[in-house]
Each structure stands twice: as structure tokens, then as C-alpha cells.
Amino acid sequence: NDAKLDAAGITQEDREYLAEALARSYLRQFVTNRFFSTDPHPGNLGVEVFNDEDRPPRLVFYDFGQACTLSKDQSLGILEVIESIIDLDAKKSVSAFNRMGVLKDNADLDKVLAKVQSNYDSGRLKVKKRKVRNSAKY
């Protein structure tokens, strides 16, 4: 809620930091812990604010009541998908999908590959370059 963040003195830079912390947290949950919260809504996430200006706000997960585990292949497949998107490598994407077990057993891999390649070629999937914060506090 923007109003609550504003009232807590959370700046735009803090919000960007928290967004990155959330992304890193989920990546860590997927890849390292292979256990993740499946219910990330505002009631299950919070922000802890500190009085020390040099200490960034901290993201807090309140509830892991709905959670899921991943197999090693699913976990590694997530990393491979991310790498393949960065590299725009359709073959690696399909290989990662297969490793994760998200394709039907009788999937036509040539059609899947063609669709992924088409998405890469058409720009339907764009990777945003990370903003570089020149005056980042954290």
C-alpha cells in the first residue's frame, strides 16, 4: 500500500531495493531452498523499517502456510530458463522446460521450439536492462 509506505518514510529508492529483495528472495527460495511460499499477498508480506538511515528496510515474510517444494531438476530448470531468456536461446529454453517437467510427454518439441524462437524473434519477450542506481544507498 503506497500510503502506508509513504507514511513509513519509504523512498522510491527503498521501494526499488525492496522489489529487488523480493525477486532475490524468491530466486533463493526456488534454487537454494527448493521450498517457496505460494501465497505472496500484502497480508503475508511486510516491511520492517529501522531508525538507522544507513540500514535499508527489510522485507518480512509472515506466512508459509501455503508452500511448495521443488525437485532438483525443477530448481535447476528455473535457472536454465532465466539464462536462456537472457541469452535468447530457444533451444536452451525448451531443454529447461523439459528438465522441469512442464511439457507434456508427447509434446511436439519442434513446435515448442518454433514458438519460443518466434517469441524471441518478434520481441514478444523482452528482457529489461537493470536500472543502475547512481546514488544507491544500499
In whole angstroms, give the CA distance from residue 120 to residue 98: 18
Per residue of the chain (138 residues), give pLDDT as tens. 788 888 888 889 999 999 999 999 999 999 999 999 888 888 888 899 988 878 889 999 988 888 999 999 999 999 999 999 989 999 999 999 999 999 999 999 999 999 999 999 988 665 555 555 555 566
- Contact between residue 9 and residue 47 where contact means Cβ atoms under 8 Å apart: no
The pLDDT, as a whole number, for residue 127 is: 53
pTM to 2 decimal places: 0.71
The pLDDT, as a whole number, for residue 132 is: 56
Residue 28 has which C-alpha cell?
533463493
The pLDDT, as a whole number, for residue 129 is: 57
The pLDDT, as a whole number, for residue 124 is: 66
* Closest by Cα among 106, 104, 82, 108 to 93: 82
The pLDDT, as a whole number, for residue 130 is: 57
The pLDDT, as a whole number, for residue 131 is: 57
The pLDDT, as a whole number, for residue 40 is: 83
The pLDDT, as a whole number, for residue 135 is: 54
Q: To 10 degrees, the CA torsion angle through 10, 13, 16, 21?
A: -80
Q: Helix, strand, or coil here: 72?
A: helix
